[in-house]
Amino acid sequence: MADTSFEETLFEALTEDSDSPGDLTDAARAHEAGSFLRHAGSLSMTKIADGLIDPKLVLSWLLTHLGASSLFVGLLVPIREAGALLPQLFAAPRVHAMARRKWAWVAGSVGQGAAAAGIVLAALTLSGAAAGAAICALLAVLAVSRSICSVSYKDILGKTVGKGRRGSAKGLASSVGAGAVVLFALLLMSGWISRVGLVIGAVSLAAILWGCAALLFSTLHEDPAPGEAGEGAPLGQLSLLREDPQLTRFILARGLLTATALAPPYLVLLGAQAGQGTFDRLGALVLASSIAAFLSSYIWGRIADRSSRKVLILSGLVGGVALAGAVALDLAGLSSTIWALPLVLFTLMLAYHGVRQGRSTYLVDMAPEDRRAAYTAVSNTVIGIVLLGSGLFGALASIAGAVVTLTAFAAMSLAAVWVAYGLDEVEG
């Protein structure tokens, strides 16, 4: 009883809301406090793991250190992003057929941990092209495992935590995860520990955290639901785009907002062209991203509980202003200053984490309860295709330069503001 009382007290302190949600079953309401804390705890561990194994920064540095060619380094982000999204269209019907979908999330978390452990083994025993090929292959396994977690999670969250509190659970986890990764960044910058040893140790810790998250999530109370065949043939689920114009508009807004995720490498390129070599340091990049996540994720989550539509609008506006500011600073000859591009990156990461909180909460609250898995799969599959096309921006950058590419990203972010403005309010 004491444990239950403690859970309730902590739950109410974190959500500032003791009202019983009307969108949960009686059993789910009875277990909501414990479910909220299990969601926050499991997600915190996976958020930390994500930061410790970040392909854009950490794995890119590791492959370079191991002597892998730029080909393998360039494959990391597309493998990670598209691999985590594209399989969801085919996984959704199987997940939807499960009575308790938490086991899909548990299996996905175990798979990510095993893949991370494999990356550690490859880093310790291989070098050059062999290391590049092995780590890219293991990252593909990690990404597919992550897709299983993603396609199952929103449905589980909707069944176990009431509307108006879901953003808080995800935002709290993001802030806790970001705080831990800040410590990792500071260690990287300190020089107290060998950088390669610290990176391999971080990936090892990520493997352990995914295993612990799976163990904790397995204790979540989830009401069994009748297993269903889902929405028919995987490709048939794309008919949702025709049936629900709001889903189509949401996906368009989300697609435009991918600019906040794709732009950071071009800020680094802009800094390198301006002669700001210190900006290329791994620790500084991880630190800027982590501080932004730590300061903003929980706040974005709380705002999303009131209006995830407004979070998408604000995130697009902040991202567009940040990227336009980067272009203006470069044209003014200020991009080589010590403060300019780090400030832009920090502001852009605020927008990026707002996008993550807003899109996730909006989709859960918008989708009909019995079709959340299908809505998630369709949305993520379309965005995965968009991200696969991100190579076009690389070609644009090599031909026209980083300034032109960042200008295009700024335009995308600002266009997303107009698209998101036309979305329905789905909270309350």
Which amino acid does the sequence have at 181? V
What is the per-residue burial (b if ≥16 Cβ within 10 Å, else e) of 267-305?
bbbbbeebebeebeebbbbbbbbbbbbbbbbbbbbbbbb
What is the per-residue burial (b if ≥16 Cβ within 10 Å, else e) of 72-85?
bbebbbbbbbbbbb
Please tell me the pTM assigned to this model: 0.72
What are the residue ranges of helices labelled H in 16-101?
26-30, 32-52, 60-65, 70-85, 88-96
Contact 313, 252 (CB under 8 A): no
User: Which pLDDT score, from 0 to 100, does residue 407 have?
Assistant: 92
SS3 22: coil
- Can you tell me the distance from the alpha carbon of 377 to that of 367, in angstroms, rounded to the nearest whole number? 12
Encoded tokens for 242: 């025709």
Among candidates 133, 94, 139, 93, which has minimal Cα distance to 114?
139
134 Cβ contact partners less than 8 Å away, ≥ 6 residues apart: 118, 122, 126
User: Which pLDDT score, from 0 to 100, does residue 110 have?
Assistant: 97
- Can you tell me the distance from the alpha carbon of 61 to that of 279, in angstroms, rounded to the nearest whole number? 14
What DSSP letter does each residue of 390-404 carry, written as one string?
THHHHHHHHHH-HHH
What does the longest C-alpha to C-alpha distance in the chain come to? 66
- Domains of the chain (ranges; CATH) run 29-223+234-421 (1.20.1250.20)
Among candidates 135, 163, 147, 153, which has minimal Cα distance to 60?
135
Contact 412, 256 (CB under 8 A): yes
User: Which pLDDT score, from 0 to 100, does residue 143 have?
Assistant: 93
- Looking at residue 219, the DSSP 8-state letter turns out to be T
Is residue 238 classed exposed, middle or buried when 0-12, 13-18 and 19+ CB atoms within 10 A define those classes?
middle
Distance, first Cα to last Cα, the chain: 32
Contact 228, 96 (CB under 8 A): yes
User: Which pLDDT score, from 0 to 100, does residue 70 have?
Assistant: 65
**Dihedral angle at the C-alpha atoms of 299, 300, 306, 310, nearest 10 degrees?**
140
- Can you tell me the distance from the alpha carbon of 49 to that of 211, in angstroms, rounded to the nearest whole number? 10
Encoded tokens for 262: 């794709």
Each residue's pLDDT expressed in tens, for the chain with a length of 428 residues: 334 676 677 776 666 655 555 567 777 777 777 788 888 889 999 999 998 998 877 887 888 789 887 677 767 777 887 888 888 777 777 887 887 888 999 999 999 999 999 999 999 999 999 999 999 999 999 999 998 998 888 788 878 887 767 777 777 787 788 788 888 888 887 778 888 899 999 999 999 999 999 999 998 887 777 655 544 555 566 677 777 888 899 999 999 998 888 787 777 667 766 665 444 456 776 787 778 877 887 788 788 888 989 999 999 999 999 999 999 998 888 877 777 887 888 899 899 989 988 988 888 888 887 777 678 778 888 888 887 776 556 556 556 777 888 898 899 999 999 999 999 898 76
